[in-house]
Amino acid sequence: MKNLSFLFAMLLVASMPFFTSCGTDDGTTDVNPTINFTGGAGFTSSDVTLQAGDPIKVGISAFSNTSSNAKLKTLKVVRTFNNNAFTALDSTLNSTNAFNITLESFAYPAAGVEKWTFTITDKDGAYSEISFNITTTAGGPINEYSQKILGSYDNSAYGSSFASADGTVYSLADAKANAAKIDWMYYYGSTAFATLSSPNDASASTVFSGTNGPASWSVRNDTKLGKVTLPTGLTWDAITTDAEIVILASDVSDSKVTALTVGQIVAFKTVTGKLGLIKVEVITGTGAGTITYSVKVQK
Choose the final residue of a domain: 137, 160, 186: 137
**Residues 47-78: tens digit of each pLDDT:** 778 888 888 888 899 999 988 889 999 999 88
H or E element in which residue 248 lies: helix 243-249
Please tell me the pTM assigned to this model: 0.68
Give residue 22's pLDDT band: very low, low, confident or very high (50, 70, 90): low
Q: How many domains does the chain have?
A: 2
146 and 284 belong to one structural domain: yes
218 and 286 belong to one structural domain: yes
Bridge partners of residue 169, in order along the sequence: 162
**Residues 126-160: tens digit of each pLDDT:** 999 988 888 888 888 999 999 999 999 999 999 99
* pLDDT, average across residues 121-128: 93
Give the sheet arrangement for strand 34-38, strand by strand: 34-38, 55-63, 98-106
Q: Which residues of 139-172 are buried (b: 16+ CB within 10 A; e: fewer)?
A: bbebeebeebbbbbbebeebbbbbbbbeebbbeb
pLDDT of residue 30: 59
CA distance 30 to 264: 55
- Pairing of β 112-122 and β 127-137: antiparallel
CA distance 258 to 20: 52
57 and 165 belong to one structural domain: no
**Residues 176-234: tens digit of each pLDDT:** 999 999 999 999 999 999 999 999 999 999 999 999 999 999 999 999 999 999 988 88
43 and 85 belong to one structural domain: yes
Choose the final residue of a domain: 137, 155, 187: 137
Q: Are 14 and 37 in contact (CB under 8 A)?
A: yes
278 and 153 belong to one structural domain: yes
Q: How many CA within 13 A on the CB side of residue 138?
A: 6
107 and 28 belong to one structural domain: yes
pLDDT of residue 29: 52
176 and 282 belong to one structural domain: yes
80 and 162 belong to one structural domain: no
Choose the final residue of a domain: 80, 102, 137: 137
- Domain range for 125: 2-137
154 and 294 belong to one structural domain: yes
- CATH number of the domain at 6, please: 2.60.40.10
Greatest alpha-carbon pair distance for the chain in Å reads: 82
* CB count in 10 Å sphere of residue 261: 10
106 and 163 belong to one structural domain: no
95 and 192 belong to one structural domain: no
190 and 91 belong to one structural domain: no
